[in-house]
Amino acid sequence: MRIVETTDLTAVHALRRAVFIEEQGVPEAEEWDDLDGQAVHLLALEGAAALGTARLFVAGETGKIGRVCVVRSARGTGLGKALIAAGCDRLQALGCTRVELGAQLQAMPFYAGLGFAAFGPVYDDAGIPHRWMARALAP
């Protein structure tokens, strides 16, 4: 398995469609935004098969990881952990000292296990309860 940066959003969008729109019921209008062109996109591949993705943003010294998804068949394999680690590494290389993400409530224990701590209230994103989480990145 390898994680690469990509500017070809075909596989990224296919993964997000499968997980967020088809599996989780996120409305298309809420999944697709105008931010993809500003993001760094990570794509997890096993051979030629796309299994997961995440998108990254930099805002000063704070990096943001979003749209993290892994296909059902690859869950529980460590792929999600590898995507978050790759995202943190890339954001650190871009000068970030902190990383934030909006976690679905059911995924909070996963992110807590990777060193993220929750802050702020629960909020709704596309009908799914979320909470912000953050962790420091080594300078």
Number of domains into which the chain is organized: 1
Q: How far apart are CA 123 and CA 127, in angstroms?
A: 9
Half-sphere exposure of 47 toward its Cβ, with a 13 Å CA cutoff?
1
Residue 133 lies in a domain: no
Residue 25 lies in a domain: yes
* Type of residue numbered 31: E
Residue 115 lies in a domain: no
Task: Identify the domain containing residue 71 by its residue range.
Answer: 2-98
User: The CATH number of the domain where 89 resides is what?
Assistant: 3.40.630.30
Residue 22 lies in a domain: yes
Helix (H) or strand (E) holding 35: none
| CA torsion angle 118 31 6 65 (round to 10) | -10
Give residue-wise pLDDT tens across range 75-134: 999 999 999 999 999 999 999 999 999 999 999 999 999 999 999 999 999 889 999 999
Residue 63 lies in a domain: yes
